Amino acid sequence: MISRQVHYDGRGGNGGNVYLVPSTSMAFIDIKKELGGKSKVKAQSGGHSQKVRLVGDNGEHTYVKVPVGIEAVDMERNVLLARCSRPFQKYLIACGGSGGNARNHYKGEPGEQFDISLHLKLRPNVGLVGFPNAGKSTLMKAFVPRKSIKIAAYPFTTTKPQVAFWVAEKRKEDEESDFTLSIADLPGLIEGASQNRGKGYQFLKHLEYADVLLLVVDCLGFQLSNKPGEPFRSPLEVVALLNHELENYSKKLVQKPALLVLNKIDISPDKEEPSRLAEKLRSLDWPLQLPEKLRPRFPLQFDYVIPISAKLGEIEELKRALIRTYRNLHPSEVPQDLLEDDDKSLL
């Protein structure tokens, strides 16, 4: 007797897919909890075809919640699989395999499999940009006193960006209604950061979702080190070089609203020089004051250029300028009474 297996054109169910779903209420550290401590995620396999049911059930999909701003990268190929920028949208990471059918000789196909790494990009209202020792951290402390500073450290890079929350208007009756702006203090950039020199890519990526850029420049200029051949850069050159790094990373960065502060005016030998420099940088053609090789292709146009001393806490004008700039972007988020006070102060 000859035994034969008869398929009756049955079809096995397809395997489920794996999706990432961004959540606005989730922090980076919560991912491990979401995965239950596991490092492997898989969807359900498809069901078998049966004599009484020729078409097998498809496997259930697996959905993994992640914070908004997560990027999933295939580690083997170094390819971006998903940029999870929209809350609650499903981002496909891996497709399930097709069930067994006549096309594949009734042998189910394996689904996609990746080793992925997850990277989080910050979403600050204000992103601080500057070379080392420009005074960004000092400026952060001027916005948020040490006593009440709320800092979140993100240990997903070798250097930790910090986010502080500046309460621009405090309402005694309801803390949740306080008008607050988040300020990201990123590690100092160096020339070539957009080509990942000094791990610059790890820092610049956090500016992609910033509402406003705040460039911090030492009014006395900058030199990375005292080593022979290390050039000294004037404040104007520093602004141009920062502009270069931003545009080389992404043209979208130089299209964002931007403010510039000339810091450390308290130690400037010439007390009038910071004001003269600020006047130059307020001009639309400020790059023309530089040698052609230093001129950026897409010059930043600053909403405000303000000389300050972060060390002395003299930043009231800067605070008002930030509120006005943010209001232009999100008018409904700024309290009306704060708008009125702001308008009077900036007349």
Q: Domain with 213 in it: what CATH number?
A: 3.40.50.300
- Let me know whether 151 and 108 are in one domain: no
From 329, 275, 321, 288, select the one nearest 302 (Cα to Cα). 321
Q: Which two tokens stand for residue 291?
A: 């040698």
Q: What range defines the domain where residue 63 resides?
A: 18-120
Say if 108 falls within a structural domain: yes
- Let me know whether 116 and 157 are in one domain: no
- Let me know whether 187 and 101 are in one domain: no
Question: Consecutive sets of 10 residues in the chain, 347 residues long: mean pLDDT of each?
Answer: 56 88 86 85 82 80 90 86 88 88 78 86 89 88 67 42 79 63 79 48 80 96 79 94 92 96 95 95 95 95 97 93 94 77 50
- Let me know whether 33 and 141 are in one domain: no
Say if 3 falls within a structural domain: no
Q: Are 161 and 154 within 8 A, CB to CB?
A: yes
- Let me know whether 147 and 259 are in one domain: yes
Say if 8 falls within a structural domain: no
How far apart CA 241 and CA 214 sit, in angstroms, is 15
Domain boundary among 85, 120, 155: 120
- Let me know whether 83 and 174 are in one domain: no
- Let me know whether 139 and 93 are in one domain: no
Say if 290 falls within a structural domain: yes
Burial class (CB in 10 A: 0-12, 13-18, 19+), 341: middle
Domain boundary among 102, 120, 138: 120
Q: Quick one: pLDDT at residue 152?
A: 45
Say if 4 falls within a structural domain: no
How far apart CA 282 and CA 305 sit, in angstroms, is 6
Say if 153 falls within a structural domain: yes
Q: Quick one: pLDDT at residue 177?
A: 57
From 199, 195, 207, 119, select the one nearest 158 (Cα to Cα). 199
Say if 244 falls within a structural domain: yes
In DSSP terms, 212 is beta-bridged to 126
Q: Quick one: pLDDT at residue 172?
A: 55
Say if 252 falls within a structural domain: yes
- Let me know whether 139 and 189 are in one domain: yes
- Let me know whether 227 and 195 are in one domain: yes
288-294 LR contacts (CB < 8 Å, sep 24+): 289/236, 290/236, 290/237, 290/240, 294/237, 294/240, 294/241
The per-type count for the chain, helices as H runs and strands as E runs, is 7, 13
Q: Quick one: pLDDT at residue 336?
A: 74
Q: Quick one: pLDDT at residue 159?
A: 53
Domain boundary among 83, 104, 120: 120
- Let me know whether 60 and 188 are in one domain: no
CATH classification of the domain holding 112:
2.70.210.12
How far apart CA 252 and CA 317 sit, in angstroms, is 27
- Let me know whether 59 and 196 are in one domain: no
- Let me know whether 188 and 42 are in one domain: no
Domains of the chain: total: 2
pTM of the model: 0.70
Q: Quick one: pLDDT at residue 19?
A: 95
